[in-house]
Amino acid sequence: MDTILVTGGAGFIGCNFVRMALRQTVSRVVVFDKLTYAGSLLNLKDVEHHPRYEFVRGDIADRRLVAEVLQGFRPTSIVHFAAETHVDRSIEGPRNFLDANVIGTFELLEAALAYYRGLGEKGRDFRFVHVSTDEVYGSLGPQGYFREDSHYAPNSPYAASKAAADHFVRAYFRTFNLPTLITNCSNNYGYYQFPEKLVPLMLLNAAAGRNLPIYGDGLNVRDWLFVEDHCAAVLAVLRYGKIGEKYNIGGGNELNNLQMLEALCSALDERLPAKENPALKARGLTSYLQLRVFVPDRPGHDRRYATDTSRIRNELGWRPACRFEDGIRRTVRWYLDNTAWCETVLAGRSGARPPFIPDNHQS
Ligand SMILES: NC(=O)c1ccc[n+]([C@@H]2O[C@H](COP(=O)([O-])OP(=O)(O)OC[C@H]3O[C@@H](n4cnc5c(N)ncnc54)[C@H](O)[C@@H]3O)[C@@H](O)[C@H]2O)c1
């Protein structure tokens, strides 16, 4: 049986990917995750008894543990999501981003290379897919799109750490022939996103009648993609992508933050009408948009991201399946139906299991 090792599989995109991989492939799926504040076993609760699912708690920067896991589970591919991901946190404390995203990816590459070399002929189909962001390309003006050959110009410490990781992954292909592929995706929204990121933060704040803080003038543009479409793209790259290649992924759905907030508030109003929400009534308000407050801009805030996705569309036949209006409605419904999840992960009480390595490992 094929085995996919998914780093960061207990985080937002990782857990959606794990679910999809268990549904759409016959592979065993082994999650390797440190369970930082952003990762939770609650995100994988519905698959914990799946016969093809395993979980190991660990840090990708722990090369010895990663080597043991590789020897123990003998994966046929690694899909690398694990990272520190919140731009605001990277401004407050960049060091963690260097440790997880740069050193972590380097140690993972070293362990993967040693393992791959040991596979010999059996390593023919081995793949290392590195999941990255379009933020590595920097900021666009009103026109134009990021292409795979756009130059790197990261502006936040988060983007710089992902850019450095991308370069290491590329170097391990060019120098050591590790069969790597890189994906650079635009902003995701959907289920299980830690409620510090724009979409869940605004949703939960609005539902509770709290202010909706908007950075600067709110006109920064992002290209939004439903998380399951991102996961389908990563699966397509894993199955059909060309070794050594990179693929941009995006929704073709540009919205500035004010427009995103309007879409969110209107989807929320359908499920939980503002006029009947006691939290708003208590503040004498009748519409969620009245909760908007403008706050000083984030330093280095990129103005616009937009991705040219013709390569993955033309070469791998991928395209987003979920319309933005549907994705936003589904996301709003999920957060309103899962308030206990929100409270638990925000309180940092999501629970953890110790590392588990099967006893057939060889080190
Ligand atoms: N969220 C987005 O919009 C977006 C867009 C494009 C690319 N990406 C990339 O996708 C990946 C996943 O993003 P996300 O939004 O799901 O992130 P997330 O913050 O929700 O989850 C990250 C996961 O990685 C784990 N992790 C962190 N450091 C680790 C370490 N040292 N060792 C092992 N596990 C560790 C965390 O416990 C968590 O489960 C990241 O690499 C990110 O750069 C995210």
Q: Model confidence over 32-49: pLDDT tens digits?
A: 999 999 999 999 999 999
Is 329 inside a domain boundary?
A: no
176 part of a folded domain: yes
Q: Which of 53, 137, 158, 192 is catalytic?
A: 158
What per-residue confidence (pLDDT) applies to 360?
Answer: 44
Among protein residues, the one whose CA lies closest to atom 1 of ligand 1: 188
Please, are residues 208 and 202 in contact by the beta-carbon 8 Å criterion? no
Q: How far apart are CA 154 and CA 133, in angstroms?
A: 10
CATH number at residue 244: 3.40.50.720
Q: In what order do the strands lie in the sheet with 28-33?
A: 53-57, 28-33, 3-7, 77-80, 127-133, 180-185, 246-249
User: How does residue 1 score in pLDDT terms, banded at 50, 70 and 90?
Assistant: confident
Interatomic CA distance for residues 203 and 187, integer angstroms: 16
Q: What percent of the chain has pLDDT over 90?
A: 94
* Residue with CA nearest ligand 1 atom 18: 11
Residue 242 inside a domain? The answer is yes
Whether 4 contacts 28, CB under 8 Å: yes
Q: In ligand 1, which atom is closest to the CA atom of 9?
A: 39
* Pocket of ligand 1 contains residue 331 by CB under 6 Å: no
158 is catalytic: yes
Share of the chain above pLDDT 70, in %: 96
Range of the domain at 319: 3-194+224-254+305-323
Question: Is 319 part of a structural domain of the chain?
Answer: yes
What are 104-119's pLDDT values in tens digits?
A: 999 999 999 999 999 9
The protein residue with its alpha carbon nearest to ligand 1, atom 26, reads 82
Q: Determine the atom of ligand 1 nearest the C-alpha atom of 43.
A: 39
Q: Strand pairing of 221-223 and 254-256?
A: antiparallel
Q: What angle do CA 341, 250, 231 make, to 5 degrees?
A: 50
Residue 361: count other Cβ atoms within 10 Å of its Cβ. Answer: 14
Does the beta carbon of 59 lie inside 6 Å of ligand 1?
yes
Element (H, E) at 214: strand 212-215
- Cβ of 195: how many Cβ atoms within 10 Å? 17
Residue, of 349 and 276, whose pLDDT is higher: 276
Tell me what pLDDT residue 349 has: 61
Is residue 256 within 8 Å of residue 220, measured between CB atoms?
yes
The one-letter amino acid at 6:
V
Provide the number of structural domains found in the chain. Answer: 1
Please indicate, yes or no, if residue 178 is contained in any of the structural domains: yes
How does pLDDT run across 291-348, given as a tens digit for each residue? 999 999 999 999 999 999 999 999 999 999 999 999 999 999 999 999 999 999 998 8
15 within a domain of the structure (yes/no): yes
**From 33, 134, 223, 302, active-site residue:** 134
Give the HSE-up count for residue 347: Cα atoms under 13 Å, Cβ half-sphere: 10
Q: Is residue 240 part of a domain?
A: yes
Residue nearest to atom 36 of ligand 1 (CA): 39
Mean pLDDT value of segment 191-207: 95
State the distance from the centre of ligand 1 to the C-alpha of 285, rounded, in angstroms: 37
Answer yes or no: 337 catalytic: no
C-alpha atoms less than 13 angstroms from C-alpha of 142 in its C-beta half-sphere: 1
User: Considering the domain boundaries, does residue 310 fall inside one?
Assistant: yes
The β-bridge relationship of strands 225-226 and 188-189 is parallel
Tell me the whole-structure pTM to 2 decimals.
0.96
